[in-house]
A and B are shown apart, each in its own frame.
Chain A
Amino acid sequence: AQTVTQSQPEMSVQEAETVTLSCTYDTSENNYYLFWYKQPPSRQMILVIRQEAYKQQNATENRFSVNFQKAAKSFSLKISDSQLGDTAMYFCAFMSSTGTASKLTFGTGTRLQVTL
């Protein structure tokens, strides 16, 4: 079974600064997908970024980028130019690529607070 570990329960960053959230996972599979979801106080789960394990290039979405280290089974999220609206819980998630539409396995989350 896959496991996802987020070792930082809470983090804080000042507005306009850069912050990195850590995520490690455990799997015996070679092909899979990794995701970062954001959950603001409104509780809506919002997809931030997606990475396919067979792609060596790190995914980027505007101010959000990942550092995907497949051998180390590490998948960190970097948020540049942090904004107050980035305040939220951030969940790292794993999806197997065997079959179709496999379930998501989530980490325990990191609560990010962006301050003035």
Chain B
Amino acid sequence: SAVISQKPSRDICQRGTSLTIQCQVDSQVTMMFWYRQQPGQSLTLIATANQGSEATYESGFVIDKFPISRPNLTFSTLTVSNMSPEDSSIYLCSVATGWLEDTQYFGPGTRLTVL
């Protein structure tokens, strides 16, 4: 497994502003993922972040709204831009581990509330 931390753990933001969420892992990993969990809902993948290349976004998510950085093998950031109340969610990062990178472990999540 891996030890994953996220900052901030929670935040309350005003509409129209942006928030950057950090994800740090204690070992080098190739694949990192960002998920969104809307209130009372399941998790939905936003994008896959690969070191040294552009993030790959899922249908319904765009880079202008959710820019992602992956500067090295232990760190990634997700920015939620021009926020609206509909962006209020838990945002979780995960990393893929194992010989085939076939198991994902999650960070503790960031609870975002947009007023």
Chain A residues within 8 Å of B, Cβ to Cβ: 33, 35, 37, 42-47, 50, 91, 95, 97, 100-101, 103-104, 106-109
Contact = CB atoms under 8 A, between A and B. Distances in A.
B104 A104 contact: yes
Contacts of A103: 33, 45, 48, 58
B51 to A, nearest CB: 12
A108 B42 contact: yes
Contacts of A106: 42-44
B43 A104 contact: yes
Nearest to B90: A43
A44 B102 contact: no
Interface string B1-34: 1000000000000000000000000000011010
23 contacts: A44-B106, A44-B109, A45-B94, A45-B109, A47-B105, A50-B103, A95-B102, A97-B100, A97-B102, A100-B30, A100-B100, A101-B48, A101-B96, A101-B102, A103-B33, A103-B48, A103-B58, A104-B43, A104-B94, A106-B42, A106-B43, A107-B42, A109-B42
Contact of B92 (A42, A45, A108, A109): A45
Interface of B: 1, 30-31, 33, 41-45, 48, 58, 90, 92, 94, 96, 100-106, 108-109, 111
A109 B101 CA distance: 24
A107 B43 CA distance: 8
Nearest to B101: A101
A88 B111 CA distance: 17
A43 B31 contact: no
Contact of B42 (A44, A46, A91): A91
A43 B109 CA distance: 7
A46 B16 CA distance: 33
B39 to A, nearest CB: 11
Nearest to A108: B42
A100 B101 contact: yes
A18 to B, nearest CB: 25
A42 B108 contact: yes
